[in-house]
Amino acid sequence: MVQIRPATLDDADALAALLADYLRERHPDHAGTTADQLRRDVLGEPHGQRVLLAENGGRPIAFVAWDAVYDMHWAAKGAQIADL
């Protein structure tokens, strides 16, 4: 069964591996982002970017990262997806 939960500092290695798989497929010349960079810049506090991790049987299989946004024209909170 797939479970979805917020990513934590402990997920940095798994998230870096998932991101590396994505980058190899879509941007093969990209150097990637290390687990240490993710811990520092994304998963640590306080950061605006949020990450949800999908797991199947406790194994990370996917993620979505987004930033909170505010649309001043419509006076509405929302999100902008950075990676899926």
Residue 79 vs residues 56, 60, 68, 70: alpha-carbon distances, Å: 25, 23, 5, 8
Residue 39 vs residues 34, 48, 53, 71, 76: alpha-carbon distances, Å: 9, 13, 14, 29, 30
- Listed by start position, the domains of the chain span 2-83
- Spell out the per-residue pLDDT of the chain, length 84, in tens: 999 999 999 999 999 999 999 888 888 888 889 999 999 989 987 777 899 999 999 999 999 998 889 999 999 999 888 877
In total, the chain counts a number of residues equal to 84
pTM across the whole model? 0.82
Q: Is domain 2-83 given the CATH code 3.40.630.30 in the classification?
A: yes
